[in-house]
Structure 1
Amino acid sequence: MEKLTLEKAREILKKHTTEEHLFTHAAAVSAAMGAMARHFGEDEEHWRAIGYLHDVDYEAYPDEHCHHVREFLEPEGVPEADILAIISHGYGITTEEREPQTSLEKSLFTVDELTGIIQAYALMRPEKMEGMAVKSLKKKFKDKRFAAKCNREIIKRGFSMLGMEPGEVMQCCIEGMQEHHEELGL
């Protein structure tokens, strides 16, 4: 396989995941990654595929997340660079194997947790994703009790890695998730 496609990512994830909320999370991260790819002038479908597949080993190994990515993806012919990109989103959290180095890896590291906050915020808004503003999302981000399981320190580390303003990353994620609001149920 030359490059991971979104279709192939969906096919692989179905083999290893059954929980509906994990598919929704995969779709949210995929949507955000597409918008980040656009920001960097990169291949949207490829970045979306990486985002969709990033938690491939989570359901089977929640306590060893990112440690089993290779054994799930190598037999599928997923390119080494894509495997490393997926492993890198657990850097300093579940693994020390690979520090995010590329824009794709840094984006995945950052948006993984950030999409959880955006999703939680959209669910409490009557209009869901429609018209969501960065300014109000920033208020929710600052409230540590809101979507408390989403690790703000990881997200902040990601902003820093990317060298982007928080609002700029938030805007990308909002736009990506708005484009795919139906798939996300938002």
Structure 2
Amino acid sequence: MKRNEALALLKKYNESDSLLKHAYSVEAVMKYFAKINEEDVEYWGNIGLLHDLDYEKYPEMHCVKTREILEKEQADEPFIRAIESHGYGICTEVKPESYMEKVLYTIDELTGLITATVLMRPDRNIHNLEVKSVLKKFKTAKFAAGVNREVVLQGCEMIDMELNEVIGHTIEGMKTVAEDLGFAGQ
């Protein structure tokens, strides 16, 4: 699947600006991790782009409906499985096994925390966001309370990276789409 096809599919099932921006964030971070690990950037990016494909229309069947939709689109099994695995322990029992799956599991919630952090900044500029600022917000449970920090920490263990390193890579990935996210500063 090409990126334009993945984007059209995403927009067929999602209209919410916040869900679309979240998809762009996760796509960008997946591409960033793929690049630094010399993996298929477009493939990883499309998984990030479509990871919440079913969430707006079928929130009670999150990850389950995605399988049905992607099977109809003739997506390959590793692609579908990777998306299912990001809901491990929350809405699926599909445990992340490949490195790609573990990265998706780790960074999905983290992009939400970084988004909330940038939105609280007067300049809304991700380009000058520091890891220490995100770490401080991470440790404040009431800030972006919907972000499952335990998932992020479990993911860091899975990919054998320190939290601050994962945060740094996630920020760098999100910087690549700062304009699309409205995070290029005012």
Q: Deviations over 1:104-162 (max 9, x none)?
A: 10011111100000001111113320211111211111111111110101111111111
Specify every segment of 5 or more residues in structure 1 that has no aligned partner in the other structure, as ranges. Answer: none
Does 2:107 correspond to 1:111?
yes
Amino acid at match of 2:88: Y
Quote the Cα distance in structure 2 between the aligned partners of 1:94 and 1:170: 24
1:40-65 deviations in Å (ceiling 9; x for gaps): 22122211111000001111211221
Please list every run of 5 or more consecutive structure 2 residues that lacks an aligned counterpart in the other structure: none
Which consecutive aligned stretches of 4+ in structure 1 deviate over 3 angstroms post-superposition?
none
- 1:126 equivalenced with 2:122 (yes/no): yes
Q: For residues 5 and 37 of structure 1, what CA distance do their matches in structure 2 show?
A: 16
Q: Provide the alpha-carbon RMSD of the alignment.
A: 1.1
TM-score normalized by the length of structure 2 = 0.94
Match of 1:153 in 2: 150
Identity %: 47
> 2:19 & 2:34 partners in 1: Cα distance?
22
Cα distance in 1 for partners of 2:122, 2:37 equals 32
2:166 maps to: 169
Q: What is the rounded CA distance, in whole Å, between the counterparts of 2:22 and 2:172 in structure 1?
A: 16
Aligned equivalents of 2:33 and 2:63: distance in 1?
Answer: 22
- Residue 98 of structure 2, aligned match among 97, 102, 126: 102
Are the aligned partners of 1:39 and 1:172 in contact in 2 as well (CA < 8 Å)? no
Q: TM-score, normalised by structure 1?
A: 0.94
Aligned length: 182
Shift of 1:5: 2.8
